[in-house]
Structure 1
């Protein structure tokens, strides 16, 4: 698993810590992983389609 570093406002960190304290997640890291999975499941397909369109455009433009 790769590691990334992010900065969050104190209020968001406190909310994540409360979710852990309430037993919703075992760790803050797991809560963040869950949030990232949700974001990608909602928007990942659109991002991939747009990325494919840009790649296709670049290939056509460069004559590859």
Structure 2
């Protein structure tokens, strides 16, 4: 796994922390990894749908 440093607005980090506190994620890193996975899945679906439509 690689380390990535990024800047996120405090309000968004506070919201992520609340999700961690509620037990939705074990920690901030896993919450952010989950968001990245969802974004990748969404983009993959859009690409697949667009490719199908062009056939």
In structure 1, stretches of 5+ residues that fail to align are: 47-64
Larger Rg: 1
Q: Kindly state the Cα deviation for residue 44 of structure 1 after the two structures are TM-superposed.
A: 3.7
- Taking structure 2 as the reference length, the TM-score comes to 0.78
- Taking structure 1 as the reference length, the TM-score comes to 0.68
Whole-angstrom CA distance in 1 between matches of 2:11 and 2:44:
27
- How many residue pairs are counted as aligned between the two chains? 46
* Higher relative contact order (CA closer than 8 Å, sequence separation 6+): 2
Extract structure 1 runs of 4+ deviating beyond 3 A: none
In structure 2, stretches of 5+ residues that fail to align are: 48-55
Taking only aligned residues, the RMSD between alpha carbons, in angstroms, comes to 1.1
Aligned pairs (5 A) from 1:1-64: 1-44=1-44, 46=47
